[in-house]
Chains A and B, each alone.
Chain A
Amino acid sequence: MFEYTFQWRQAFRALPQMLEGALVTMQISLLSMVLGITIAVLLAVGRNSKSIWLRAPATTWVEVARNTPALFQIYMAHFGLGSFGIYLSPFVALLAGITFNNAGYLCETFRGALRAIPDTQMRAGRSLGMGPAKAFRLIIAPQMFRIAFLPTTNQMVWAILMTSLGVTVGMNTDLTGVTQALNSRTFRTFELFALAGVIYYCIAKAVMLGARLLAWRLFRY
């Protein structure tokens, strides 16, 4: 059955390169989360607004992001925009695709959190003389982020896992991209990707652990 000798040494020799790739992976997922959260807050406010001109685009964004594959969204950014003469590099296309996806999912998370905050909070803020924007920023937003904190960290882990899709549009600097580039040179597919899998696992666990510690520190009261 097994007529194959595993060559782990070759994989371990590639470890420094792969760790550099892991840094790029972290960079993309962090950027996509920061952008995604910003857009998601705007989308959540838009979806709750009374004006159809705000509600319709926000709803469309969320439904498309949630009902099509992430890979399709990345393809759209990389190949689709080519029809309009816009050519994005794999890095930007990957970032755009994941940000689009993150914003859609996080919007629903934030909307759920907004629903959990009593209306009276907003009314109390307004009756203290705050404008709507100020009351949202100082009273609603902190409570919203607190409720949405754990789902948001889950989304962060998904964002990290999603960055592996970049290799399908020719990304060769992130962890999967580096591994695939090494793979096409050495053909040690199993060893290299097993190592990459271990690195992804460690990153995901580290993020979860970090989030738990942060939650424990932030929400102690």
Chain B
Amino acid sequence: MFDTALTAGDLWFMMKGAGVTLAITFFAVVGGTLMGVTFGVIRSHVSPWLTLPLVFVLDIFRSVPLLIQLILANAFQAIAGLQISPFTTSCIVLALYTSAYCTEIVRGAIDAVPPVTRRAARSLGLTWGQDMTQVVFPMALRVGLPSWIGLTLGVMKDSALVMWLGIIELLKSSQIIITRLQEPMLILLIAGAIYFALSFPIARLGGHLERKWQEND
């Protein structure tokens, strides 16, 4: 039962898949966070009626399955003749998906800063920009960072869906090896262990930060 046809080359192939997973996650999270912070600041500063269209659009990304978003985006770029590679398409879709969640995290974090603190900052002569960077940002970071870490890990796990567009990431690479070796349990366990190894330490770090920062409140 412990005999296996798995070679070091196969393991290396899976590692390369894990690299693709990490690359997609990186681009999606960087793009999504930039957009999410922008939208979040807008949402917490502009009146709710004016941001209604933005809220509606972002809500769509959270209420439609990611798989369908990916398929739609890929079909759309083919229809429009944009010639975007599946890799870029998935990065864009995942970035928008991330931004939808990130907006809520940023907005919640900014709203958690008491208005009196901000008024005090402004009355000390700080400009809006100084207030945002030197008062709101450090306080909001403590509220938002644990959820943001959770979001990043969620995006890494959801990035497994890009295999539907033919990208060979971690789960797809293990599926390819399974088709050849017919040892599904072993290979899936290895893939699961890689996902777990990537995700678990960061999840623990997030939990640790959450507990540590709550002590001061």
Tell whether, in the assembled complex, residue B184 and residue A83 are in contact, meaning their CB atoms are under 8 Å apart: yes
Residues of A within 8 A of B213 (CB): none
Interface residues of B in 50-100 (CB under 8 A from A): 60, 63-69, 71-72, 75-76, 79-81
Which one of A30-38, A43-51, A126-134, A188-196 is at the B interface?
Answer: A188-196
Tell whether, in the assembled complex, residue A72 and residue B80 are in contact, meaning their CB atoms are under 8 Å apart: no
A75 at the interface (CB under 8 A from B): yes
Whole-angstrom CA separation of A64 from B160 in the bound complex? 16
A67 at the interface (CB under 8 A from B): yes
What are 8 inter-chain pairs, A to B, with CB distance below 8 A?
A1-B80, A2-B81, A3-B81, A67-B157, A76-B192, A83-B183, A190-B79, A201-B60
A170 at the interface (CB under 8 A from B): no
Whole-angstrom CA separation of A64 from B164 in the bound complex? 23
B contact residues vs A (CB 8 Å cutoff): 60, 63-69, 71-72, 75-76, 79-81, 153, 157-158, 160-161, 163-164, 171, 175, 178, 183-186, 188-189, 191-192, 195-196, 199-200, 203
Specify the main secondary structure of chain B where it touches its partner.
Answer: helix
Specify the main secondary structure of chain A where it touches its partner.
Answer: helix
Tell whether, in the assembled complex, residue A1 and residue B81 are in contact, meaning their CB atoms are under 8 Å apart: yes
**The 8 A-B residue pairs with the shortest CB-CB distance in the complex, in nearest-first order:** A83-B185, A164-B65, A69-B157, A190-B75, A79-B184, A204-B63, A189-B75, A69-B160
Residues of B within 8 A of A75 (CB): 171, 175, 188
Taken residue by residue from 49 to 85, chain A's Cβ proximity to chain B (1 for < 8 Å, 0 otherwise) reads as 0000000000000011011111110011001111110
Whole-angstrom CA separation of A193 from B72 in the bound complex? 6
